[in-house]
Amino acid sequence: SDGSLRYTTCTNGGPLFVYVKDGRILRVTPLEFDATDPSTWMIEARGRKFSPPRRALVAPHALTMKSLVYSDKRILHPMKRVDFDPDGERNPQNRGKSGYVRITWDEALDIVAKEINRQKRVHGPGAITFPMSSHHQWGNVGYYLSSLMRFANLIGFTRVAANPDSWEGWYWGAMHHFGNSMRVGVPAGYGGIEDCLKEAEMIVFWSSDPESTNGAYAGFEGTTRRLWAKELGIEFVHIDPHCNPTAQLFGGRWFSVRPQTDAALAQAIMYVWATEGLYDRDYVATRTTGFDEWKAYLLGETDGVPKTPEWQESETGIPAKDVRALARKWGGRKVYLAVGMTGTGFGGAGRGATGAQWARCMIMMMAMQGWGKPGINFGNLEIGIPHDLHFYFPGYADGGISGDLAFTGNAVNNYQRMPHILTMNPVKQMVPRQQMPDAIIEGKATGYLWDGMAQEAQFAPFTYPMPGYSPIHMIYRYGGSSLSTVTRSGRWVDAYRHESIEFVVNQSIWMEGEAQFADVILPACTSLERWDIGEWANSGGYAHHGVNVVNHRVVTLQHKCIEPLGESKSDYEIFTAILTRLGLGAVFTEGCSELDWVKRVFDSSDLPDHVSWKKFCRKGYYVVPPEKPELRQPVDMRWFAEGRRKDLPEPAPMPSQYAEQFGMGLQTPSGKLEFVPEIFKRHTTDNPDRPAVNRYIPSWEGRSAELSERYPLQMIATHSRYSFHTSMDGKNSAVNQVDDHRALIAGHRFWLLRVNTADAAARGIRHHDLVKIFNVRGAVICAADISPLVTPGVVKSYEASAEFQLIDVEGETVEIGGCLNTLTPDRSQTRGTSSMAPNSCLVQIEKWRNAEAFKM
Ligand code: MGD
Ligand code: MGD
Ligand code: 4MO
């Protein structure tokens, strides 16, 4: 009615309508279905019928897209650092200090293309690196695993080997008890919604806050289902140092556990089960191995310390009587255990020094309770929707246009349906992500692989530099989040300024984070300014059937809604322009525009069987009809509990990975659920950090650590409720105005630090005072958010401030953007792994100068 055109798009927080008039975006709204879209599924449970709303319940950050497009932090033209001369003085020491001048695209592309050639000529393969983040704007064509991977492979590069950041404790620990390596050691969650609603009596949320983390991409799609569970009288319990938004919304008993002591609590619960017979004896006897050895440890027969509720009290801070009561209740009921964002793995508890101990306990607890029997499973009603999973559409990790068969899901997923020119990185050298700054500064680093192919892959170390290859001399950074998402991130500043780094190019949409440390900046555009295609929440790869979290399967054409702002270009166009200068333009594009690739992805999917290209383009989205009730996906692990052949719609494990008969048993050497993993017995006997019999080993950065005398508070900085990592924070995004996200004080939007009332009072800190949070690694200025919702002795905040802003105040350097990862330890959780352990980092806080003083 206002004369605008309605386009569609998809984001990390769900699909949107985008209203455009005269080349400008007027507004974005959550996508709503109409009468022509297929019907919605219904679940019957305990005499009630449940069906979700017929619209996309998107995340708050999705709705900020317009403000991101028109942000005043957009980079609108190519730029060069003022004191960078590619043919003369390069002044690496001034990165992040000196300013920029505008240059033309021609000049920028020439500098970058020439430098790529020079690096190869002078140093040889391996000198260039493309550090990649874990996420991207939505869409199968533009995704970093798609276009950027294709581009980087055509150039050749030292790979920055990612650590399994989302999965840490599961990959390095839990996986060895039950397999699921192709899911990085987390359970699958099939059929979990219906089973939970029909059967479960209680849900234990353990390090699980789906109202904040939204099953990653599902917005508030799961909220409705949890409300149904409340209506049905399913009891909720929360184990978390923070009375998180899920606990706040739904209520239920909150166990305020001290960070990283969870394994002690879990073991005390298992002690009660073991001694009071509150476990599934038949299941343990027939489906598992090693229980006697585990039980001996619980009872203290092996180390003289019975793991009683009294024993755990001084560690966790939870009274013994409460633990005993919880254990008895749990042991006598059908319980869903909810760990992390989907309830089936993840969780901040897994991203700390004791992360693997905790994740291992979670699997063992479920083994004791009969995992897979009706009402006994992992989940928090976030995953396991009765979708038609036979309908095929590729996820973003399934390779897109990359042609990369080694580091994406392409080889096992979409390649056969969309053959395109293969691309391969000829460089075998890798550098571990968390150690990359040290690799640059000290010239060496050791890492361990994240590879889901097999459980064994993680035991072989790799070293940097690798004989035969050049160390890194050029960084091609795409985006710029490391200062905020990598541990002890202040190291990056020194790495960027290191003399061995001859050239830094940054391709970013906004002037933030690492973009400020580049020699040449290439302006990219947002996904609303270019073509793409994607299915909501379909990540693919290690999260096979990831769509199982949203209520409807929605594939969207991601329209080019407006022309790119200023001189910005799509990433694909930038890559094409650089490769054209290297004579590889046509190899990269195969003669295709982005819209052509979108059509190729469309054709590779099952969409053409149901909707014409023309109709799809006009409507902008397609909703997959739900599965017929009789064909609904089976419940995860039910086959195992019943001793049948595996009946789940997933390709893993590989045929070679079954102990005896294909489809029978788990991906463990015994085929059973192993309380004492055989794989650990084989490979870690010389590593006390990774014992075969799981133990409670207090955190090396916990309350008993030496550091705690000077830094008595434990900081947990987990995933931000309102932004998606750095992506929707800062840059004057609408998210910035959310009071629960940043506080506007003296003209600056400060990152929030939630402090317990008693800890604040002891330090004379009042609500919204500026506080300095610090340790040996750095100091950050935040706004105090005083609240009883956080356990005393713990300060709660979030990772992923997009802004990184160092200022000097009376000789002291402090960071005022909110990059709390400048304080977290860079040490791996355990020896012999490349795992991040940001959680439970020891800090002190004090009231900082008042806001008026800050203004000067
Ligand atoms: P993102 O902000 O998602 O974070 O860490 P990252 O993956 O590093 O980074 C994406 C980057 O890509 C941004 O800079 C963004 O601007 C850029 N980008 C996105 N789309 C485009 C595009 O279209 N074009 C271009 N040119 N650039 C684009 C996430 C990581 O953080 C994760 S996944 C986890 S699980 C860890 N969690 C965690 C924690 O729990 N606690 C602490 N303390 N730290 C953590 N860090 C980890
Ligand atoms: P976290 O926020 O790390 O999320 O999903 P999760 O790993 O589940 O942790 C969840 C809860 O664990 C929090 O309430 C936190 O207080 C608690 N916790 C932290 N430490 C401990 C501990 O030691 N013990 C116990 N018991 N609890 C603890 C992460 C997932 O979220 C991932 S991997 C990504 S990449 C996505 N990121 C993301 C985002 O950046 N923003 C939004 N809005 N959603 C996201 N969803 C995804
Ligand atoms: Mo993650």
Candidates 165, 280, 404, 826; catalytic one: 165
Nearest CA to ligand 2 atom 4: 347
Q: Is the pLDDT of residue 245 over 50?
A: yes
DSSP for residue 368: H
Q: Is the pLDDT of residue 856 over 50?
A: no
Task: Let me know if 580 is exposed, middle or buried by CB neighbors in 10 A (0-12, 13-18, 19+).
Answer: middle
Q: Work out the average pLDDT over 478-484.
A: 97
Task: Give residue 840's pLDDT.
Answer: 86
Q: Work out the average pLDDT over 215-220.
A: 98
pTM beyond 0.90: the answer is: yes
- Ligand 1 centre distance from Cα of residue 136 (Å): 8
Residue 626: is the preceding peptide bond cis (ω within 30°)? no
pLDDT tens-place string over residues 387-421: 999 999 999 999 999 999 999 999 989 999 999 99
Helix (H, G, I), strand (E, B) or coil at 108: helix
Ligand 2 contact via 214 beta carbon (within 6 Å): yes
Task: Give residue 810's pLDDT.
Answer: 87
pLDDT tens-place string over residues 94-119: 999 999 999 999 999 999 999 999 99
Task: Give residue 65's pLDDT.
Answer: 97
| Encoded amino acid at 172, one letter | W
Tell which one of 74, 136, 594 to mutate to probe ligand 1, the residue whose CB is within 8 A of the most ligand atoms: 136
pLDDT tens-place string over residues 675-687: 999 999 999 999 9
In the structure, which protein residues have their CB atom closer than 6 angstroms to any atom of ligand 1?
Answer: 133-137, 142, 165-166, 348, 351, 478-481, 485, 507-509, 513, 524, 571, 717-719, 725-727, 799-800, 821, 824, 838
Q: Is 165 a catalytic residue?
A: yes
- Ligand 1 centre distance from Cα of residue 604 (Å): 29
Ligand 2 contact via 340 beta carbon (within 6 Å): yes
What ligand has the least distance to the C-alpha of 212? 2
Ligand 2 contact via 346 beta carbon (within 6 Å): yes
- Ligand 3 centre distance from Cα of residue 261 (Å): 22
Under a CB-based contact definition with an 8 Å cutoff, are residues 835 and 164 in contact?
A: yes
What ligand has the least distance to the C-alpha of 720? 2
Q: Is 135 a catalytic residue?
A: yes
Question: Would strands 748-755 and 812-815 be described as parallel, antiparallel, or unpaired?
Answer: unpaired
Tell which one of 727, 731, 843 to mutate to probe ligand 1, the residue whose CB is within 8 A of the most ligand atoms: 727
- Ligand 3 centre distance from Cα of residue 16 (Å): 23
Task: Give residue 852's pLDDT.
Answer: 67
Q: Work out the average pLDDT over 294-316.
A: 98
Average per-residue pLDDT for the chain: 97
- 637: alpha, beta or left? (left if phi > 0; alpha if psi -120 to 50): left
Ligand 2 contact via 754 beta carbon (within 6 Å): no
Candidates 7, 190, 279, 396; catalytic one: 396
Q: Is 242 a catalytic residue?
A: no
DSSP for residue 570: -
| ipTM of this complex | 0.99
Candidates 61, 135, 238, 545; catalytic one: 135
What ligand has the least distance to the C-alpha of 216? 2
Q: Work out the average pLDDT over 646-659.
A: 95
**Positive or negative: CA dihedral 49, 50, 53, 56:** negative
Ligand 2 contact via 694 beta carbon (within 6 Å): no
- Ligand 3 centre distance from Cα of residue 485 (Å): 10
Which tops the pLDDT comparison, 75 or 840? 75
- Ligand 1 centre distance from Cα of residue 537 (Å): 17
Under a CB-based contact definition with an 8 Å cutoff, are residues 721 and 242 in contact?
A: no
Nearest CA to ligand 2 atom 11: 207
Task: Give residue 412's pLDDT.
Answer: 87
CA separation for the pair 365, 380 (Å, rounded): 16
- Ligand 3 centre distance from Cα of residue 66 (Å): 24
Ligand 2 contact via 380 beta carbon (within 6 Å): no
CB burial readout 784-815, b (16+ within 10 A) else e: bbbeebbbbbbbbbbbbbbbbbbeebeeeebb
